Amino acid sequence: MIAIMSAMREELQTLVEHLENPTTTVKGKRRYHLGTLFGKNVVLVFSRWGKVAAATTATQLINDFELSEFLFSGVAGSVTDHLNIGDIVIGDKLYQYDINATPLYKPFEIPLLDKTYFETDLLRQRELLNAGTLFLNDFNTIISKEEATNFGIANPKVVRGGIASGDQFINSNSQINFIHSNLPSVVCVEMEGAAVAQVCYEYGVPFSIIRIVSDKANDNAHIDFEKFAAQIAGKYTLEILKNYLS
């Protein structure tokens, strides 16, 4: 079974609506939706926001279901000039930018694990890159010209890059500069991915992540984020997963 966790309720609902033979179980204030999605047995769940909430959800999933892989999807803020609204990031390395156990450990190192980042599965990275490319080939038939214009989406691309997670909403240049200076391979930021990657690493479950750029992590991030998440993210995720799972 494949676990698919979404960071946004709206995005998850789009996937739930396409489930075949759905059933639902509720645990720990979370609704786990089981069924078939594009021919694969899946369990879908809203991660809730923040590293603790997402790690809790991931642990429940792993303990309750026989998982063959774990997929995380959601929106993120760009921290590089080369990544724009509507672009897709397939994560290769996941960092927790807000962890600091110095002088006992190196900056950003996860205590007891001897790791400063968690890598995703290389084969699945390639498959998701291909799935994202196929989606972008059909972009104009899925996202209307009006929607693209409203959100400033122009010539979207799919890239592979580092993702940084922390328990804060990044929306200032000082926060961006801190991440640039210390984690130069990071291209976008969010609040859950690296925590889920750590759980999957400790349990030995293959992990992959898709992030869709909703904002530029600047002073206008909160405005772009809410609108984008409600109107665009679900369509992206559904089509990318259709290509990936099929």
**Catalytic site residues?**
11, 215
* CB contact at 8 A, 10 and 73: no
Q: Are 85 and 216 in contact (CB under 8 A)?
A: yes
Using DSSP's 3-state secondary structure scheme, residue 52 falls into: helix
Give the E-state strand segments of 52-157 in sequence order. 69-78, 88-96, 118-119
Place of tokens 């559904």: 238
Produce one character per residue of 137-148: b if its CB has 16 or more CB atoms within 10 Å, e if not: eebeeebeeeeb
AA identity, residue 225? F
3-state secondary structure 147-186: HHHHHCCCCCCEEEEEEEECCCCCCCHHHHHHHHHHCCCE
Q: In angstroms, what CA-CA distances link 133 with 152, 159, 185, 212?
A: 20, 10, 22, 13
